[in-house]
Amino acid sequence: MSRRALTLLVAGFLALAFAVIGAMVPVPYVVLSPGPTENTIGDVKGKPVISISGHETYPTQGRLSMVTVAYQGGPGNRLDLVTALRGWLDPTVAVVPEESLFPKTSTPKEVEEQNTQEMTTSQESATAAALNALKIPIERTVKVVSTNKGAPADGKLKPGDEITAVDGTPATALDSVAGAVRKHKPGEQVTFTVKRGDSETQIPVSTIAGKDGTTIVGVTMQPSSGYRFPFKVDISVGDIGGPSAGLMFSLGIYDKLTPGALTGGMSIAGTGTIRADGKVGPIGGIEQKMVGARRAGATVFLTPADNCADAVKAVPEGLRLVRADTLESAVKAIDALRDHSGEVPACPAA
């Protein structure tokens, strides 16, 4: 065998060995890429993303698209070296340290549960924000987060239960629930009226003395973050999780509850968490979300103010960035774009 042939053979063997090792060696990174884009005023698999019953709704047009980020790697699915290297060479994706997204002790189940909970909270906050913007009255509720193992409430009250009353008195805030329990002496029973799913039931729970001497049942509740709405709003996006679609959900609900098409037929995408008061918050993966939005045909992208600096550095051609500080400002910006009137807040140039 000639020296050249031998060199090529050895080089080929080394390349193959590197590829095999690279495909097997796990690395603590996560690859972020553009994920699914769904129209919040449209359908997913033949089912409306937003369904409203018990209140008049109006026809819509165009698109108000939520955007997502897909990821490879993470707890229980460690990334291999070759995939990470490919990601570093692709300008539409990002490769980030795993610990920047997931706590070191997270399990796949915990990650899934957290994403699901964040999506549920986001949908509830989005509904509250839209109704508040339309001056439609809503009520606060109190929900069970968890129970202490071995405490009287353990096994009786469940995470997600909505406490509507205590001993027959309506539960309107966390303090009112805790105060009703503290009226009892340790060993007495307190009766919770609980809404679980579509049914409501009364659940008696014994009380005990807490470490500080107060009467407790051993339950952790969600303070002032649940809401009771005057009509039903259902949001369905399949197995997508996380909180960053809040702004687009609230705009979709707002559009369906108001006469006329908010977009005027435009294709608008956007992202941002949202609070019940309409404040829009920052998100992660802004670069990948913009790429996904443009690929889906969007020409306008609603951007949280805190993400503007990163967005202007990577905005795809043909996509106009519009700064969204609140739900109200986002609606006004869309009105101005649709009617070609007024100023539209933009992300400042870097």
Cβ within 8 Å of residue 93, ≥6 positions away:
31, 32, 33, 34, 87, 288
Residue 178 predicted with pLDDT over 60: yes
Asked if 201 and 101 count as a contact pair (C-beta separation under 8 A), the reply is: no
Confidence of residue 3 (pLDDT cuts 50, 70, 90): low
Q: Of the residues 143, 156, 256, 289, which is catalytic?
A: 289
pLDDT tens string 193-226: 999 888 899 999 999 998 888 999 999 987 545 6
Q: Of the residues 122, 244, 250, 256, which is catalytic?
A: 244
> Which pLDDT belongs to residue 1?
53
Do 212 and 293 reside in the same domain of the chain? no
Residues paired with residue 47 on neighbouring β-strands, in sequence order: 44
pTM of the model: 0.75
Tell me which residue of 175, 172, 207 sits closest to 190, measured CA to CA. 207
Active site annotation includes 244:
yes
Do 186 and 328 reside in the same domain of the chain? no
Which long-range contacts link 2-8 to residues 24+ away (Cβ below 8 Å)?
Answer: none
How many Å apart are CA 339 and CA 179, to the nearest integer?
52
Cβ within 8 Å of residue 196, ≥6 positions away:
158, 160, 161, 162
Q: Whole domain around residue 285: which residue ranges?
A: 33-72+112-136+231-339
Do 235 and 327 reside in the same domain of the chain? yes
pLDDT tens string 104-139: 766 777 777 777 778 888 899 999 999 999 999 988
Do 174 and 300 reside in the same domain of the chain? no
Residue ending a domain, among 171, 202, 228, is: 228
Q: Is residue 12 part of a domain?
A: no
Residue 5 predicted with pLDDT over 60: no
pLDDT tens string 17-52: 444 454 455 677 888 889 999 999 999 888 999 999
Residue ending a domain, among 228, 250, 277, is: 228
> Which pLDDT belongs to residue 2?
58
Q: Is residue 280 part of a domain?
A: yes
How many Å apart are CA 258 and CA 229, to the nearest integer?
17
How many Å apart are CA 121 and CA 72, to the nearest integer?
25
Residue 332 predicted with pLDDT over 70: yes
Cβ within 8 Å of residue 289, ≥6 positions away:
34, 67, 68, 69, 244, 269, 271, 283
Active site annotation includes 51:
no
Do 235 and 124 reside in the same domain of the chain? yes
Q: Is residue 81 part of a domain?
A: no
Residues paired with residue 205 on neighbouring β-strands, in sequence order: 190
Mean pLDDT of the chain: 87
